[in-house]
Amino acid sequence: MAPKRPLDSSADEVRAALRPALQRFGPDYWREQDAAKTFPTEFFDTMGKAGYFGTFIPETHGGADAGPRVASVLVEEINRAGGDAASVNAQMAICRTVVLHGTEEQKQRYLPGVASGDIRFLTVAATEPDSGANMVDLASTARRDGDDWVINASKVLISFAEHTRLIILLARADEGTTLFLLDLDELGDRVEMHPIDLVAHRMTSSLFIDDLRLPDSARIGPAGEGLACLMRGFVIRRVLAASEAIGNARFLLDRSIEYAKTRKTFNQLIGVNQGIQYPLVQAYAKVEAADLMRWDVLDLVDRGEDAVPRSAMAKVLASEAAWETTRAALTTFGGWGLASEYHVERKLREGTVYVFNNLLMNLIADRALGLPKK
Ligand SMILES: Cc1cc2nc3c(=O)[nH]c(=O)nc-3n(C[C@H](O)[C@H](O)[C@H](O)COP(=O)(O)OP(=O)(O)OC[C@H]3O[C@@H](n4cnc5c(N)ncnc54)[C@H](O)[C@@H]3O)c2cc1C
């Protein structure tokens, strides 16, 4: 089922190298993590030891600098094996903001530990209770006081906040949006957190900071350019989200096809029914198309060309294809699709996380279609 593409020899190598580790952490491991709502520590540490967290970190700072293709295949394969790549995705990709915009001191202090997995760097705190998707009109403030900054912030739906050591915080200074690096080993209880229970096991929290004093050395990038610095990572984040969705879809397709070939009702395999075949065929075709778009974006990235609109398209297409695949899987598995032992219901819940695409569609309307803006 995996498409063979000319550029895929390194992708195939990554897939082969991953196989033994992923066999150790099969779907039942993830079902248990999901039920217990725990952080997948053993899996995460295994990926760290294998060197994957340094994928975007230069060798000079302890990384492997393997690049976005490796990261893309990695998260796809984790999900295709029935897992949840969110923590690995975060640990690989969030540190890019420090790689691209951090000070040499920040890089030397943290990046080697991030690459090895000893330091968890899983979180960007941007979303707020009032402003939601609007990351410009922030209520969280950073006020200069001598050489320091004083931070007041309320953030919501922040992934892995209670499982990370480092957080990138977006706040509004006089100059505009500005990024700060919070080291929770140092700040500890100065950052108040409350877990938010979601339909999917995504370990999100609300986060409150009251008059926290930070040195200027905690700032990432220029004051006033916080959102611009974050956005430089968005193309890769979208490709990785698309890759995760493709992995989820392929996991469900693999299982559904197997089930359709073995489950018999009315004295025949259910897979002979067009009512089972066509939804799977439609889903398969759309996943393959989304996959081509994913590689197309990576080609643009390699060539240093503008990949912004196409990365948005790849994410929209992949998440929609995965959503459609989940529907096809439910049809295939019938009532058993809702039983946790078949893993379809877990992927259904996890799939909800990927389908919020409105702002990406705004971006495509503007950048690809040139439609008028408000
Ligand atoms: C599982 C999960 C993990 C998350 N992790 C993080 C994290 O780690 N860090 C973080 O900062 N945030 C995180 N978020 C928050 C996420 O980024 C926000 O949910 C998102 O920015 C939207 O904010 P909101 O939910 O308040 O929706 P709102 O901004 O209230 O929007 C509600 C709906 O209206 C739509 N909408 C709003 N404005 C427009 C517009 N102009 N055009 C078209 N549609 C519009 C939105 O797309 C959405 O569908 C996470 C969310 C989830 C579900």
**Which CATH number covers residue 65?**
1.10.540.10
Do 142 and 204 lie in one domain? The reply is yes
Q: Whose CA is nearest to atom 24 of ligand 1?
A: 132
Q: What is the pLDDT of residues 350-363, one digit of tens each?
A: 999 999 999 999 99
Query: Does residue 8 carry a pLDDT above 70?
Result: no
pTM (2 decimals)? 0.96
Q: What is the pLDDT of residue 13?
A: 87
Query: Does residue 7 carry a pLDDT above 70?
Result: no
CB of residue 199 inside a 6 A radius of ligand 1: no
Give the three-state DSSP class for 64.
coil
Q: What is the DSSP letter of 4?
A: P
Instruction: Answer whether residue 132 is part of any domain.
Output: yes
Q: What is the pLDDT of residues 64-94, one digit of tens each?
A: 999 999 999 999 999 999 999 999 999 999 9
Q: Whose CA is nearest to atom 7 of ligand 1?
A: 158
Per the CB < 8 A criterion, the answer to whether 253 and 82 are in contact is: no
Could you say which of 58, 89, 116 is where a domain stops?
116
Two structure tokens written together for 304: 């240093």
Pocket test for ligand 1, best of 157, 168, 203, 237 (most atoms within 8 A of CB): 157
Instruction: Answer whether residue 373 is part of any domain.
Output: no
CB of residue 132 inside a 6 A radius of ligand 1: yes
Query: Hey, how many other C-beta atoms are within 10 angstroms of the C-beta on 201?
Result: 21
Average pLDDT over residues 100-105: 98
Query: Does residue 236 carry a pLDDT above 50?
Result: yes
Instruction: Answer whether residue 372 is part of any domain.
Output: no
Per the CB < 8 A criterion, the answer to whether 311 and 235 are in contact is: yes
Q: What is the pLDDT of residue 12?
A: 86
Per the CB < 8 A criterion, the answer to whether 241 and 79 are in contact is: no
Per the CB < 8 A criterion, the answer to whether 123 and 161 are in contact is: yes
Per the CB < 8 A criterion, the answer to whether 293 and 314 are in contact is: yes
CA distance 43 to 74: 13
Q: How does 79-97 read in b/e, with b if 16+ C-beta sit within 10 Å?
A: bbbbbbbbbbbbbbbbbbb
Could you say which of 91, 116, 141 is where a domain stops?
116
* CATH number of the domain to which 347 belongs: 1.20.140.10
Q: What is the pLDDT of residue 70?
A: 93
| Percentage, residues of the chain above pLDDT 90 | 91
Instruction: Answer whether residue 190 is part of any domain.
Output: yes
Indicate the Cα dihedral angle 331, 332, 337, 342, nearest 10°: -160
Residues 6 or more apart from 119 whose CB is under 8 A from it?
110, 113, 165, 166
What's the structural domain count of the chain? 3
Q: What is the pLDDT of residue 17?
A: 87
Two structure tokens written together for 172: 């509004």
Do 138 and 261 lie in one domain? The reply is no
* CATH number of the domain to which 148 belongs: 2.40.110.10
Instruction: Answer whether residue 1 is part of any domain.
Output: no
Instruction: Answer whether residue 349 is part of any domain.
Output: yes
Do 250 and 308 lie in one domain? The reply is yes
Pocket test for ligand 1, best of 120, 127, 154, 168 (most atoms within 8 A of CB): 127
Higher pLDDT, 11 or 228: 228
Q: What is the pLDDT of residue 3?
A: 42
Count of helix runs (H) and strand runs (E) in the chain: 14, 10
Two structure tokens written together for 170: 């977006």
Do 258 and 320 lie in one domain? The reply is yes
Could you say which of 85, 116, 147 is where a domain stops?
116
Q: What is the pLDDT of residue 4?
A: 42
Q: What is the pLDDT of residue 19?
A: 86
133 Cα–ligand 1 center, Å? 4
142 Cα–ligand 1 center, Å? 22
Do 149 and 44 lie in one domain? The reply is no
Q: What is the pLDDT of residues 20-57, one digit of tens each?
A: 888 899 999 999 999 999 999 999 999 999 999 999 99
Query: Does residue 6 carry a pLDDT above 50?
Result: no
Do 112 and 128 lie in one domain? The reply is no
CB of residue 133 inside a 6 A radius of ligand 1: yes
Two structure tokens written together for 32: 């248990």
Q: What is the pLDDT of residues 257-313, one digit of tens each?
A: 999 999 999 999 999 999 999 999 999 999 999 999 999 999 999 999 999 999 999
Query: Does residue 125 carry a pLDDT above 80?
Result: yes
Q: Whose CA is nearest to atom 27 of ligand 1?
A: 132
Task: Provide the residue range defining the domain that includes 338.
Answer: 233-367
